[in-house]
C-alpha cells in the first residue's frame, strides 16, 4: 500500500478540508481493511472528499486513507441484477463500467459523478430514505464494512427482518465507526427512457405536476427543478421502463397539465443525466459551494419555504423531489456568503446545512457512546 | 437486582399508570402467557402454562407513563417486554416469571394525517385495520395489509419489520416509516428522525450520527419502546386488476415473475403457490393466511390424497379420513417423507395470483404488459382466481387450528434470497424438512433482486413432549437449511425467540455491533431480554 507524506495540497484546499499528515492509498478492499486494522492513526477515510464535514474530522492531526483505488467490480449476478463493487469507485465510473456490461443505474436519483460509492453511503443524510425514490440506500441489498474489530457483512437477501439493520451504523455516519468496504446494489437492464422538460410559470405549477405524477402511481427515476431569479423555471422528470408504459406516463401527464413541455428519449436522456451529474451542486469543490445551502423540506412546507427565500438568493435547484420531500440547493448571489437560511425558511426544513459546513456538529449522546464502544482507541479521526 | 415482590410491584406500577391498568390476576397473566407463536399453542394444549407468565401487565396511556415504567424498571432491575397486539409468531412478546409486559393498546390515536405531504402520525398501539379504515374514509391508504390486519398493531409492524400482502407496490413497513418516537431503555424519549409532524423543534434532532430510524425498526423492543411514528401514505387506488396464471412448475413461474419485476413493473400482489399449495389454494376460499391454510389443510388433506393416490389406496383410506381425528392425522403427518414424496410427483401445476392497483390509464397499461408477459410463460386463467383471492384475502380464522387439538402443529417460515439462489433455497429447505413434516410453500413478496419464500409445514407428535421435540427439530433443521443455502432466515415475521439462534447468520460479525447498540440504548439490559440475538449461534434451546 502506497503511503504519501507529501500530499496534494490543492485537493484539500479546494474542498476546504484540513491537510493530513500523510495519505494511505490502498489498492483494493483487502488493503483498505489492513489500513483500518493497522495500529497507527488517527485516520480518516476520504473518497472524493466532497461531502465530509470539517468538524467531523476534529482538530487532531490525522492521516487520510484515500479509497479511490478500491474500485473493483467484485461480482455481477446477472440473474438477480446485483452488482457487488468496492466502495471507492466513483459514481460516474461505475455507471460507465456497468454500461459496458449491459447494465444500467439509470433509475437512481442524480448524484455527483465524481463522488465515490462509499462517500455517497457514508455521508450524513438528513432524512430517511423512502421506497421508489431512487435513493442508493434503497437499492443497496448487501454491504461489507469493517471497524476496529472483525468485518461486518450484511447478507445479500432482499428486505430482511432479522433484527436491526446494522448497516446503518456505517451508512450516514461519515466514517465515525468504520469503513464501508463494498456494497451490493441493484442494477437494471437498459430500458425505454423519456425526459419531460416542463417550463412552468409558477413554482406551484411544478409542484402540482410532481404531486400528480406520484398520486397517479408514476415513479419518476429522477426529478429536478431549477429556477428562482436568474434561471428560468425548468422541471425535469425522467421515466424509465417499457416504452409503452413510459409513453402512457408522458401522455397522461401532458394531458393533465397545461404547461409547455418537451420530451426527449433514448440516449439524450442519458446524456442529460451525465451533464446534470457532472454539474451537481452537492460538492464542496464547486466555486459556488461556499454560498450554497442544502435544505430538505417536507412537501407540505416546500411552497411556503420557497416564498420566504430572501432577496439575496440567486437560484434554487431541487435535486430530488418526491411526494413527501424535496432536496433544495439554495444558492446565494456572488458576494453573499451566508451560512444559514433565514429562520423563517430553516424552521420549515427537515434538515438544512451549508455545502461547506464548518460549523460545530452536535453529536447526540448515543452517537458518542457508540463511538466509545466501537472505536475505543479513537483510531478513526472522524466522529465525536 | 431482584425484582420487587408482587404487592410492592403492583403498588409501584399503579403509581405510574393507575391501579386499573396494572394487571396481576392469574387469568390476566395466563392471557399473556403466549402470543401467536405456535410453540405456545402446543405448550398450552399440553397444559404447560407456567413458562412465560409475566409478573404483571401494565397498560400505559401515553409516552410519559411509558417513560415512568422504563425508569421504574431500571431502578428495580425488572425485565420489561413491549406488547402490541400479541399477533407475533416468533415469541417476541413473551416474558418470564419476573418480567413485566408493557401493553401499548391504550396508545391508539391517529395524531395527524396530512394529505399535503402524504404522511400520518400515529400512536403505536392502534390496530392496523382501525387505522386503515380511518385512512380509507379520507381516500388514503397506508398500503400495509398483513393477514393479521385485524389483530396486529402499528408498533408491532415496526418492531418486527412487517410486510403486507401488497408489499411489491407499497414496500414493507421499513419502507413506509419516516421517523419514530421511541422511549429507550436508557429512559430517554427520542425522535429517530426529522418529521414535519413532530411538534418538537427541528434543532433537537441530531445533525450527525446514525439514522436511528433504521436501527430501531426491527429491534423488537430490545432497544426501545416505540410510542409514535410518522408513516408515508398514498392515495387510495381507484382501479384494481387481478388475474390468475398457471405454470408447469416453480422454475418456469419464477422466471416469468423475475422478468416482470426486472422490467420495473410494480404489481401490488404477487403470490405463487407451489404444486401442493396450489391444490389447497384452489380448494379453499382464498390463498392467504397461515390459519386459513392450516384449516384448509385439515379439511382437505384427505380430499387431496383421494385425488392423487391410486384408486385402491384411496378407497382404503377414504373411510379413515372421513373425520379428522388424532389417529388420522398421526397416520398422515406421521409419515411426512412419504407425503412429501407424493407431493413431488403430483400431476399439478403452480398457480400465480397477480394484481395491479392504481389509476387508469397507467395501471391498465402496466397490467397489460405484465399479463402479456406472464401469458407467454404460462396459461392465463382469467380474472376469477385473482378476484377470488382478493375477495377472500382477509378470511383469517382466529380460532386456533383444530390440528393442534389433535396433537399436530402447523407453522410458517418466511425466508428470502436473490433470484439466482431461489430455487436452491426452495429445494434445500424442502429436502431438509421432508423427513420431519409435511411441507409446502408459496412465494409472495417479490423484488427486482429476489423474493421471499413462505414455507408452511405441518407435523405430528404422539404427545405434547414428542410434538414439541418434533416442532423444535423442524425449526432447527429448516433454519439450518436456510443458512446452508445462504439465504436470510427472516423476511417479515421478525426473530423473537424462535430464530434468535440464527440472527448472526444474516449479520456475520454483527454481534458486537448489536451489543454496542444494546449498551447504548439499554444499558441495564431490561428491554425484552433474550430476543433477537441468541447467546450462541444455532445452539441454544428455547426457554
Strands A325-332 and A292-298: antiparallel
With cell 403466549, the residue in question is B34
Please name the residues between 158 and 177 in chain A that touch chain B, using a CB distance below 8 Å. Answer: 158-169, 171-174, 176-177
Alpha-carbon span B67 to B71, nearest angstrom: 6
Question: Hey, are the CB atoms on A149 and B509 less than 8 Å from each other?
Answer: yes
User: A56 and chain B: CB distance < 8 Å anywhere?
Assistant: yes
Q: What is the mean pLDDT of residues A176-183?
A: 97
Alpha-carbon span B224 to B518, nearest angstrom: 10
Identify all chain B residues contacting A174, using CB atoms and an 8 Å cutoff. Answer: 208
User: B195 and chain A: CB distance < 8 Å anywhere?
Assistant: yes
Question: Hey, are the CB atoms on A158 and B489 less than 8 Å from each other?
Answer: no
CA atoms within 13 A on the CB side of A344: 8
Alpha-carbon span A235 to B453, nearest angstrom: 42
Residue of A128, A141, A370 with shortest CB distance to B211: A128
Identify whether the C-beta of residue B147 lies closer than 8 Å to the C-beta of residue B165: yes
Q: Per-residue pLDDT for chain B (543 aa), expressed as one digit of tens each?
A: 666 778 899 999 999 999 999 999 999 999 999 999 999 989 988 888 888 999 999 999 999 999 999 999 999 999 999 999 999 999 999 998 899 999 999 999 999 999 999 999 999 999 999 999 999 999 999 999 999 999 999 999 999 999 999 999 999 999 999 999 999 999 999 999 887 655 444 545 567 899 999 999 999 999 999 999 999 999 999 999 999 999 999 999 999 999 999 999 999 999 999 887 776 666 554 444 444 444 455 455 545 444 444 444 444 444 444 445 666 667 677 778 777 777 777 667 899 999 999 999 999 999 999 999 999 999 999 999 999 999 888 876 555 567 787 788 989 999 999 999 999 999 999 999 999 999 999 999 999 999 999 999 999 888 889 999 999 999 999 999 999 999 999 999 999 999 999 999 999 999 999 999 999 999 999 999 999 997 665 555 677
| E strands present in B78-198 | 80-83, 100-103, 110-114, 119-123, 140-141, 177-184, 189-191
Q: How far is B48 from chain A (nearest CA, A)?
A: 28
| B116, burial (CB in 10 Å: exposed 0-12, middle 13-18, buried 19+) | middle
How many contacts (CB atoms, under 8 Å) link A and B?
Answer: 301
Residue A153: pLDDT band by 50, 70, 90 thresholds? very high
Helices B336-344, B419-433: crossing angle, 10 deg rounding: 140
Strands B189-191 and B177-184: antiparallel
Question: Hey, are the CB atoms on B207 and A241 less than 8 Å from each other?
Answer: no
Alpha-carbon span A221 to A105, nearest angstrom: 10
- Which residues neighbour B219 within 8 Å (Cβ) at sequence distance 6 or greater? A163, A164, B159, B517, B532
Distance spanning both ends of chain A, measured CA to CA: 28
User: B131 and chain A: CB distance < 8 Å anywhere?
Assistant: no
Tell me the three cell numbers of residue B63: 409516552
Identify all chain B residues contacting A51, using CB atoms and an 8 Å cutoff. Answer: none
Question: Hey, are the CB atoms on A155 and B506 less than 8 Å from each other?
Answer: yes
Strands B269-273 and B350-358: antiparallel
Please name the residues between 252 and 291 in chain A that touch chain B, using a CB distance below 8 Å. Answer: 252
Question: Hey, are the CB atoms on A80 and B512 less than 8 Å from each other?
Answer: no
Of the candidates A16, A1, A106, A6, the one whose C-alpha atom is nearest the C-alpha of residue A356 is A16
Q: Please report the pLDDT score of residue B326 as a whole number.
A: 65
User: B442 and chain A: CB distance < 8 Å anywhere?
Assistant: no
Of the candidates B128, B168, B161, the one whose C-alpha atom is nearest the C-alpha of residue B145 is B128
User: A361 and chain B: CB distance < 8 Å anywhere?
Assistant: yes
How many residues belong to chain B? 543
Radius of gyration of chain B (CA): 23
Please name the residues between 295 and 324 in chain A that touch chain B, using a CB distance below 8 Å. Answer: 296, 298-301, 323-324
Q: What interface predicted TM-score (ipTM) does this complex get? A: 0.96
Identify all chain A residues contacting B495, using CB atoms and an 8 Å cutoff. Answer: 161-163
Helices A365-374, B511-521: crossing angle, 10 deg rounding: 140
- Which residues neighbour B19 within 8 Å (Cβ) at sequence distance 6 or greater? none
Alpha-carbon span B260 to A54, nearest angstrom: 46
Nearest residue in B to A215, CA atom: B235
Substitution target from B223, B452, B513 for chain A, most A beta carbons within 10 A:
B513
Alpha carbon distances (Å) from B250 to A192, A274, A300, B87: 30, 41, 46, 31
Residue of B210, B414, B502 with shortest CB distance to A169: B210
Radius of gyration of chain A (CA): 21
Alpha-carbon span B42 to B404, nearest angstrom: 7
Question: Hey, are the CB atoms on B263 and A242 less than 8 Å from each other?
Answer: yes
pLDDT in tens, A79-92: 999 999 999 999 99
Alpha-carbon span B218 to B364, nearest angstrom: 35
Question: Hey, are the CB atoms on A374 and B513 less than 8 Å from each other?
Answer: yes
Residue of B174, B258, B369 with shortest CB distance to A242: B369
Please name the residues between 335 and 364 in chain B that touch chain A, using a CB distance below 8 Å. Answer: 358-359, 361-363
Question: Hey, are the CB atoms on A160 and B206 less than 8 Å from each other?
Answer: no
DSSP string, A191-203: -EEEEEEE--SSH
User: B493 and chain A: CB distance < 8 Å anywhere?
Assistant: yes
Q: How far is B415 from chain A (nearest CA, A)?
A: 8
User: A127 and chain B: CB distance < 8 Å anywhere?
Assistant: yes
Q: How far is B161 from chain A (nearest CA, A)?
A: 5
Question: Hey, are the CB atoms on A166 and B519 less than 8 Å from each other?
Answer: no
Tell me the three cell numbers of residue A181: 468496504
Alpha-carbon span A229 to A233, nearest angstrom: 9
Q: Please report the pLDDT score of residue A109 as a whole number.
A: 96
Cis check: omega of the bond before B361, within 30 degrees of 0: yes
Identify all chain A residues contacting B178, using CB atoms and an 8 Å cutoff. Answer: 127-128, 130, 324
Alpha carbon distances (Å) from B96 to A204, B10, B41: 57, 17, 16
pLDDT in tens, A269-291: 999 999 999 999 999 999 999 89
Strand order through the sheet with B80-83 = B22-23, B56-58, B100-103, B80-83
Question: Hey, are the CB atoms on B206 and A107 less than 8 Å from each other?
Answer: no
3-state secondary structure at position A146: strand
Of the candidates A64, A57, A90, the one whose C-alpha atom is nearest the C-alpha of residue A7 is A64
Identify all chain B residues contacting A126, using CB atoms and an 8 Å cutoff. Answer: 194, 207
User: A37 and chain B: CB distance < 8 Å anywhere?
Assistant: no
Strands A23-25 and A63-66: parallel
Alpha carbon distances (Å) from A313 to A38, A286, A345, B306: 47, 17, 12, 78
Residue of B179, B210, B532 with shortest CB distance to A168: B210
Alpha carbon distances (Å) from A12 to A18, A47, A68: 6, 12, 15
Identify whether the C-beta of residue B538 lies closer than 8 Å to the C-beta of residue B479: yes
Distance spanning both ends of chain B, measured CA to CA: 21
Amino acid at each position: 500500500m502506497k503511503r504519501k507524506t507529501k500530499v496534494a495540497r490543492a485537493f484539500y484546499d479546494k474542498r476546504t478540508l484540513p491537510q493530513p499528515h500523510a495519505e494511505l492509498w490502498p489498492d483494493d478492499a483487502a488493503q483498505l481493511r489492513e489500513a483500518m486494522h493497522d495500529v497507527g492513526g488517527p485516520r480518516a477515510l476520504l473518497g472524493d472528499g466532497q461531502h465530509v464535514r470539517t468538524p467531523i474530522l476534529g482538530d487532531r492531526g490525522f492521516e487520510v486513507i484515500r479509497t479511490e483505488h478500491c474500485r473493483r467490480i467484485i461480482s455481477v449476478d446477472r440473474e438477480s441484477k446485483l452488482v457487488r463493487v468496492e466502495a471507492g469507485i466513483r459514481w460516474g465510473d461505475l455507471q460507465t463500467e456497468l454500461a459496458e456490461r449491459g447494465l444500467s443505474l439509470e433509475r437512481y436519483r442524480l448524484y455527483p459523478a465524481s463522488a465515490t460509492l462509499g462517500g455517497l453511503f457514508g455521508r450524513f443524510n438528513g432524512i430517511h430514505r423512502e421506497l421508489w425514490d431512487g435513493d442508493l440506500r434503497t437499492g443497496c441489498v448487501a454491504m461489507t464494512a469493517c471497524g476496529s474489530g472483525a468485518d461486518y457483512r450484511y447478507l445479500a437477501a432482499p428486505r430482511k427482518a432479522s433484527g436491526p439493520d446494522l448497516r446503518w451504523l456505517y451508512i450516514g455516519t461519515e466514517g465515525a465507526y468504520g469503513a464501508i468496504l463494498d456494497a451490493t446494489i441493484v442494477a437494471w437492464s437498459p430500458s425505454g427512457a423519456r425526459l419531460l422538460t416542463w417550463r412552468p410559470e409558477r413554482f406551484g405549477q411544478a409542484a402540482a405536476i410532481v404531486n400528480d405524477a406520484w398520486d397517479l402511481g408514476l415513479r419518476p427515476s429522477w426529478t429536478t427543478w431549477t429556477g428562482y431569479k436568474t434561471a428560468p423555471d425548468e422541471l425535469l422528470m425522467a421515466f424509465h421502463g417499457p416504452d409503452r408504459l413510459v409513453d402512457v406516463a408522458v401522455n397522461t401527464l401532458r394531458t393533465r397539465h397545461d404547461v409547455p413541455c418537451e420530451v426527449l428519449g433514448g440516449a439524450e436522456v442519458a446524456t442529460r443525466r451525465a451533464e446534470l451529474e457532472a454539474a451537481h451542486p452537492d460538492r464542496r469543490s464547486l466555486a459556488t459551494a461556499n454560498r450554497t445551502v442544502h435544505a430538505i423540506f417536507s412537501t407540505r412546507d416546500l411552497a411556503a419555504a420557497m416564498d420566504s427565500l430572501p432577496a439575496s438568493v440567486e437560484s434554487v435547484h431541487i435535486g430530488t423531489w418526491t411526494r413527501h420531500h424535496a432536496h433544495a440547493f439554495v444558492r446565494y448571489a456572488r458576494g453573499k456568503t451566508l451560512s444559514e437560511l433565514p429562520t423563517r425558511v430553516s424552521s420549515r426544513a427537515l434538515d438544512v446545512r451549508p455545502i461547506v459546513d464548518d460549523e460545530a456538529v452536535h453529536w447526540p449522546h448515543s452517537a458518542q457512546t457508540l463511538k466509545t464502544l466501537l472505536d475505543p482507541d479513537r483510531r478513526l479521526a472522524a466522529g465525536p | 437486582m431482584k425484582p420487587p415482590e408482587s404487592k410492592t410491584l403492583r403498588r409501584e406500577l399503579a403509581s405510574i399508570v393507575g391501579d386499573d391498568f396494572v394487571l396481576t390476576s392469574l387469568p390476566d397473566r395466563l392471557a399473556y402467557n403466549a402470543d401467536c407463536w405456535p410453540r405456545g399453542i402446543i405448550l398450552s394444549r399440553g397444559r404447560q402454562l407456567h413458562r412465560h407468565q409475566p409478573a404483571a401487565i401494565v397498560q400505559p396511556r401515553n409516552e410519559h407513563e411509558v417513560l415512568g415504567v422504563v425508569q421504574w424498571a431500571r431502578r428495580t432491575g425488572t425485565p420489561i417486554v413491549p406488547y402490541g397486539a400479541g399477533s407475533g409468531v416468533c415469541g417476541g412478546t413473551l416474558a418470564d416469571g419476573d418480567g413485566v409486559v408493557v401493553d401499548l393498546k391504550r396508545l391508539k390515536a391517529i395524531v395527524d394525517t396530512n394529505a399535503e405531504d402524504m404522511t400520518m402520525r400515529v400512536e403505536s398501539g392502534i390496530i392496523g385495520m382501525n387505522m386503515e379504515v380511518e385512512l380509507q374514509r379520507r381516500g388514503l391508504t397506508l398500503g400495509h395489509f398483513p393477514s393479521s390486519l385485524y389483530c396486529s398493531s402499528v408498533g408491532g409492524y415496526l418492531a418486527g419489520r412487517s410486510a403486507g400482502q401488497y408489499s411489491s407496490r407499497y414496500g414493507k413497513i421499513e419502507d413506509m416509516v419516516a421517523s419514530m418516537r421511541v422511549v429507550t431503555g436508557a429512559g430517554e424519549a427520542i425522535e429517530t428522525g426529522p418529521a414535519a409532524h413532530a411538534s418538537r423543534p427541528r434543532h433537537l434532532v441530531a445533525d450527525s450520527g446514525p439514522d436511528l430510524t433504521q436501527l430501531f425498526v426491527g429491534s423488537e423492543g430490545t432497544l426501545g419502546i416505540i410510542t409514535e411514528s410518522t408513516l408515508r401514505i398514498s392515495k387510495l387506488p381507484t382501479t384494481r386488476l387481478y388475474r390468475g396464471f398457471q405454470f408447469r412448475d416453480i422454475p418456469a413461474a419464477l422466471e416469468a415473475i423475475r422478468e416482470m419485476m426486472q422490467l420495473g413493473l410494480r404489481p401490488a400482489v404477487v403470490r405463487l403457490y407451489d404444486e401442493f399449495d396450489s391444490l389447497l389454494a384452489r380448494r379453499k376460499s382464498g390463498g392467504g393466511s397461515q390459519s386459513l391454510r392450516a384449516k384448509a389443510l385439515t379439511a382437505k388433506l384427505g380430499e387431496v390424497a383421494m385425488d392423487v393416490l391410486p384408486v385402491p389406496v384411496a378407497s382404503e383410506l377414504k373411510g379413515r379420513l372421513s373425520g379428522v381425528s388424532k389417529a388420522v392425522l398421526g397416520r398422515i403427518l406421521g409419515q411426512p417423507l412419504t407425503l412429501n414424496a407424493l407431493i413431488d410427483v403430483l400431476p399439478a401445476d403452480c398457480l400465480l395470483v397477480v394484481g395491479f392497483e392504481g389509476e387508469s390509464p397507467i395501471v391498465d397499461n402496466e397490467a397489460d404488459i405484465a399479463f402479456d408477459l406472464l401469458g407467454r410463460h404460462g396459461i392465463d386463467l382469467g380474472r376469477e382466481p385473482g378476484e377470488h383471492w382478493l375477495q377472500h384475502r382477509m378470511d383469517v380464522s382466529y380460532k386456533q387450528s383444530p390440528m393442534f387439538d389433535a396433537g399436530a402443529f402447523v407453522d410458517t417460515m418466511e425466508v428470502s434470497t436473490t433470484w439466482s439462489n431461489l430455487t436452491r433455497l426452495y429445494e434445500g429447505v424442502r429436502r431438509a424438512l421432508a423427513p420431519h413434516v409435511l411441507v409446502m410453500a408459496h412465494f409472495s413478496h417479490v423484488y427486482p433482486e429476489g423474493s421471499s419464500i413462505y414455507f408452511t409445514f405441518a407435523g405430528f407428535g404422539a404427545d405434547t413432549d414428542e410434538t414439541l421435540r418434533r416442532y423444535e427439530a423442524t425449526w432447527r433443521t429448516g433454519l439450518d437449511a436456510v443458512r446452508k443455502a445462504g439465504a436470510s432466515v427472516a423476511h417479515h415475521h421478525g426473530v423473537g425467540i424462535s430464530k434468535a439462534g440464527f440472527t448472526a447468520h444474516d449479520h456475520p460479525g454483527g454481534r458486537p455491533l448489536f451489543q454496542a447498540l444494546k449498551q447504548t440504548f439499554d444499558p441495564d439490559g431490561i428491554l425484552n431480554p433474550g430476543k433477537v440475538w441468541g447467546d450462541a449461534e444455532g445452539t441454544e434451546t428455547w426457554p
